[in-house]
Amino acid sequence: MASSPPLLDDMLLFAEVVTTGGITSAAERLGLRKSTVSRRLSALEERLGIRLLERNTRRLRLTEAGREYHAHCARLVAEAREVNATLSESRGTPQGTLRIATLSLLGELLTPVIAELLLRQPRLRVEVSLAQTHVDLVAEEYDLALRTGPLADSSLVARRLGRVRTGCYASPAYLSRHGTPQSPEELQAHECVLLAEPGSDEVWFFGEGKAARIVPVTGRLRVPSVRAGQAAARAGLGIVRLPASLVADDVRAGLLVPVLASVTPPGLPLFAVYPSSRQLPLKVRAFLDLLSERGESLPWEEG
């Protein structure tokens, strides 16, 4: 009778199932049969004496014990990858896959930087995930993330990149039809182009300190990216909030007009964050160095 796989192998397999979101996708990524992955998961649960996953025909859901166990498994995967990366990178060439989590607000604007990184580093691959919320870098196996605002997770190393300055913009045609809001509160009577994910509360922030104001906004159009929001605003579909650097050319050309510029906050602090480790992987260092090198051409300001 064939011996059972080592426990560590099954822990890594379990982590892969959770990361990929299912047995089928994990089997494809691991080069195993779906039945093999399912059998080994069941054997792992039997060996531990606990149920890790609730299964049905549509999805898998972690049990409370499964979430706790996955956190440990994810750390093992991260440590193993760090060891492998350290050994591989001893030759001085960034390689492997660089996984980046970033705000949907910034993701598309990073494309030129990522393109340059790939041209410089032919042995490197890059995966970018756009999200409205923060992800667990260790559990979801990301190398780094770009985040704005105060950082709550003290276990992460943070490198300040600058400040993201945003503003409200609309086309001259839209403002001619609907008027120009004179205060943030007047936005509630306007069509606003929304960038957030469906189902989320949409609020825009204005001013700072004691003068800070939070204004709920609504609109009939919700778009998945800043580029789509820019196009919608240019087409006269409403007022949109975008990075100032993205629309600078449109403002100069008269295609878009700044709205409420006097009360728009100067920007949110932007950080590159990554899991604490004794040695920063070369692939992460190469990306951070390129961000520093590009400086003024990036969609944020120093400060």
pLDDT tens, per residue, the chain with 303 residues: 445 567 788 888 898 888 888 888 888 888 888 899 889 999 988 988 999 988 776 678 889 998 899 888 888 888 777 777 666 555 677 888 999 988 766 776 788 888 999 999 998 999 988 766 677 787 788 899 888 766 666 678 888 887 778 899 999 999 999 999 999 999 999 999 998 655 455 788 887 777 778 899 999 999 877 888 999 999 999 999 888 888 989 999 999 999 998 887 667 778 888 887 667 888 999 999 888 887 655 656 655
> Following DSSP, what letter does each residue of 24-58 receive, concatenated?
HHHHHHHT--HHHHHHHHHHHHHHHTS--EEE-SS
Predicted local confidence at residue 1, as pLDDT:
41
Domain ranges of the chain: 7-85, 93-164+268-297, 166-263
Q: Which of 205, 231, 232 is nearest to 219 (CA)?
A: 232
pTM equals 0.59
- What are 206's two structure tokens? 């204005």
Distance from the first to the final alpha carbon of the chain = 65
Q: Any idea what the Cα angle at residue 133 is, between residues 236 and 228, rounded to 5°?
A: 20
> Is the CA virtual torsion 280, 283, 284, 286 positive or negative?
positive
Residue with tokens 């190393």: 157
7-85 sits in which CATH class? Answer: mainly alpha
Q: Which of 269, 303, 275, 272 is nearest to 290 (CA)?
A: 272
Predicted local confidence at residue 201, as pLDDT:
53
* Residue 74, burial from CB neighbour count under 10 angstroms (0-12, 13-18, 19+): buried
7-85 against 93-164+268-297: fold identical:
no
Report the alpha-carbon distance of residue 12 to residue 280 in Å, rounded: 23
User: What single letter denotes the amino acid at residue 211?
Assistant: A
Q: Any idea what the Cα angle at residue 235 is, between residues 230 and 240, rounded to 5°?
A: 40
CATH superfamily of 166-263: Periplasmic binding protein-like II (3.40.190.10)
Instruction: Write down the CATH number for the domain with range 93-164+268-297.
Output: 3.40.190.10
* Residue 260, burial from CB neighbour count under 10 angstroms (0-12, 13-18, 19+): buried
- Cα within 13 Å of Cα(44), Cβ side: 24
152: left (phi > 0), else alpha (psi -120 to 50), else beta?
alpha
